Chain A
């Protein structure tokens, strides 16, 4: 199984400041046939299911604000929120969909400082 490890477990950022979340996979999720990384980011707010933010490591899902940016390749990935808003308070998860079983990181809780 591919193990996904996120860091940090939690972070507190001032409104308007940048938040950075890291995700590392235990093996590469880069699919050589199309040169895409099968890595997604999700946002989960209290009492709701996770919501897809980013797929293929860096493609924003329709309707997701452009302050959310995904980057990275192979085994190391980053989700950046460029200017934190109050509505961004949530837990963020990375997931690999390169192989089964699908696996998720443990989550990073983002709060307002």
Chain B
């Protein structure tokens, strides 16, 4: 079963706009990660935020984490057509030696 649930399932925006994707999860976590997947390709790691962090930036990416609400958001600023991809959140749980568990993803389309 998948731990994370992304929202929305699909998002379509114009180039230059900001894109916000949300992720909710169920159990306590060690860290939360966001990955990107271009069509027909493998997943690429974007950013990792630890459970004791609240916000993290990487270039045009901004990730927030609210452990009280068990939720995270990924903001892509000034989007480009090349940002068109599926975005997945994934969590490492706190309990036991468990693997990274992925959500179902948000499909982002950036229209030029």
Task: Specify whether A and B are partners.
Answer: no
B interface, CB within 8 angstroms of A: none
A interface, CB within 8 angstroms of B: none
